[in-house]
Structure 1
Amino acid sequence: MLSQPNPYDNVETADLFTVKFSSLVDRDSKELDTLLKACERDGFFYLDLQDSCSAKLWRDLERVSEIAKRWFSQPVEDKLKTPTVSLAHGFKATGNQSGAVKSLKDGFEALKQIGRSELLGRWALPSVVEENLELFDQFNASCHFILKLLLDCLSDGLNLRGPARLDTHHRDDARSKSTLYFLHYPPGTQSLNEVGQNMHTDIGTLTLLFAPQWGLQVVSPMTGAWEYVQPREGHAIINVADTLRFLSNKRFRSALHRVLPIGGVQKEDRYAVSYFLRAADDTEFKDSNDEDSNAKSWYLTKYHTYELPHDVQGQQTVLSGGMAQELQATF
């Protein structure tokens, strides 16, 4: 039987920087420079994790992904029984938010499975986490380590010292909304009124994304066009989120992105895993409207915005952290 052609073979793809994680561990000056350029130009880049030290991370990712796939295969009635402690911890069903196409709802469900604080406190954990606690503990810690190291490297690259360093806003003993997040985009034949994930920037500081299937798009800062992000084996995707943009006085770009399958219909089950590093709840900054805000307030405001109609979202800067207005991007 002849294999089916990849429908994404001829799409426009984003030309993103690649940063080698093992070189950042040793603070290689050229790699630090590439990291800074990636955050300044795109706010989106590939993280090369093909070194031998990352092998266990990939094994753990495969295991947690298989567990998540089995969990998503449950009837929605069972998934809705998941404890919802906060917006960062619980289950989200499809169709709760505005989608990637104007007037349609979103086409993804999510298990915001492990709020970092809840995991450390062993508080209200879903049964699937309790049954695999050591694995989720380890995977969460690995993701957190990777993003904290990137944050340290950015402070080094910016020559920040003492209390000016970015890690002062990301103390491990402080309450934050950092969380591990599993996403599932079911085939669109289930509901043609639900598709993808709306354009947005992420709420927090840095996002570590494992997305082995096509569908993710990012806005080119050069052309303003939507371009697909090609999945790469052995690489994660990193994107700068709102808080880091604000803390850098907008030197770094918060990456405007969405998930939209080609043709506007999800033809197969699509899965992704994200870890969101977020600043301490009391971290203060000037937001996209140059108004005083803090990490917790921005988080709550943005989550509320996700559920608003497209027309209302387009009148505000919150959904995109001001990047849609800067890039003149549309739904």
Structure 2
Amino acid sequence: MAPTDNPPQTVEWQGNQVPVWSMKTVDYSLLLSQDPVEVDKVTKACLEEGYFYLDLDNIDGRQMLQDRQTLLKLMHRFFESPIEAKNELGLIDSHLGYEPLGSRTGAFGAGTKDGYEMLKVSRDEIQQGSPRVPEVIKNSGDLTVLERAIGSCNTVTKVLLSALSSGMNLTGAERFENSHRNDRPSATTLSMMHYLPAEVTGNNKIGHQKHTDISSLTLLFSDEWGLQIRPPGECGALEMGFVAPKPGCAFVHVGDSLRFASGMKFQSCIHRVVPYDPAQHRYSIAYFLRAEDDTMFMDSEGRFVTAKDWHDQKFKAFTDPWQYQALAPKSMILGGMTEAGADDREPVKAYMPEAVKA
């Protein structure tokens, strides 16, 4: 991270003052017109930090914000339904279906599981007429809501890719968007996540483990605190710090595939989710823009892999028990990003409300 004269703000969490890391804010309307100053800003953000806020509160981005509000209503209705109804959807594929609470490793490593449930919808399935999308979704207005949300997210992330191509002076087939064409198979996914309060999960199902994303770009929306990042460079030797929700903005970060495609010039964002308020329900929407399945790149270990191979290998690592994750190279979970120092200043206390203790 580039040096700054302004120390980070802090918030109290787990009895400590934890940083709230600052970041650049990029204007979506200016990117649409390829404004050179804004193109330079977003490119530097990806080269230096690997993340930024994207301001959508303008005539070009407000439809995305409206689609997000409609999608949140769908999410509340789905996640509040009985577990039997949710399980009927099942996990059809790694990027389609319902993933229940505790399917992955939790935020604090060994012995913990994640504290969220997730509904995932594949962009390819929607584009192909939804052959494997469950009938309960296809036979309702929910399909239209999902189509609109995926369409909006896809447009926004493609604008970002185009700006980054221009910022890196790429031309022709080398431009990033030419490996993210709409008519080619990919694992691009809209994921809707519900983090449950501690009184429901207990103290062994907590948040989401530290990792980098498989994706090229992740477009993330959440009104509630809980997302933490570890900045690259010197700041990365300190600790994980919070991302403050910013009204009218999405949080965007670089994933492994775009880092690989940039020849390791872009930073892939190390992040995790923790219970900021253990009594709170937290909802987030993430659009994972991924490269075409047959896109070839060199990973951080010098292997030539396709985007599909990388997706499948890393998805397996995410769902492996922590004992197997500990044996895997860091280049898998952290995408080859280097770090130093502890994630937390003090050991994290167990989240065990009185109601659960009793």
Question: Normalising by structure 2, what TM-score?
Answer: 0.86
Counterparts of 1:1-331 in structure 2, within 5 Å, are 11-103=18-110, 104-112=112-120, 114-121=121-128, 122-126=130-134, 127-128=136-137, 130-132=139-141, 133-190=143-200, 191-221=202-232, 222-224=234-236, 225-262=239-276, 266-315=278-327, 316=329, 317-323=331-337, 326-328=338-340
Give distance in 1, aligned partners of 2:293 and 2:81: 34
Q: CA deviation at 1:309?
A: 3.6
> How far 1:88 moved relative to its partner?
0.4
Question: How far 1:94 moved relative to its partner?
Answer: 1.0
What is the CA–CA distance in structure 2 between the aligned matches of 1:130 and 1:290, rounded to whole Å?
47
Contact 1:83–1:124 under 8 Å retained in 2: no
Q: Retained in 2: the 8 A contact 1:196–1:266? A: no
AA at the equivalent of 2:133: L
Q: Indicate if the aligned counterparts of 2:28 and 2:60 stay in contact, CA closer than 8 A.
A: no
Pick closer, same or farther for the CA change 1:51–1:10 going to 2, 3 Å: farther
Q: Distance in 2 between the 1:143 and 1:28 partners?
A: 21
Q: Distance in 1 between matches of 2:97 and 2:340?
A: 34
- Cα root mean square deviation, aligned: 1.7
Call closer, same or farther: CA 1:128–1:135 in 2, change over 3 Å: same
After superposition, the Cα gap between the structure-2 partners of 1:69 and 1:269, relative to the gap in structure 1 and judged at 3 Å, is same
Q: What TM-score do the two structures reach when normalised by structure 1?
A: 0.92
Describe the superposition over 1:184-239 as per-residue Cα deviations: whole angstroms up to 9, x where unpaired: 00111122210000011110110100011100000022322201000000000001
Alignment gaps of 5+ in structure 1? 1-5
Q: What SS does the aligned partner of 1:154 have? A: helix
Q: Distance in 2 between matches of 1:42 and 1:80?
A: 39
Per-residue CA deviation, residues 39-95 of structure 1 (Å, 9 max, x unaligned), is 011111100111022222222211110111110012222211115331001111111
Rounded to whole Å, the distance in 2 between the matches of 1:101 and 1:83 is 27
- How many residue pairs match? The answer is 321
The Cα shift of 1:307 comes to 2.2
Moved over 4 A (4+): 6-10
Cα distance in 2 between the residues matched to 1:53 and 1:7: 36
% of aligned pairs identical?
Answer: 35
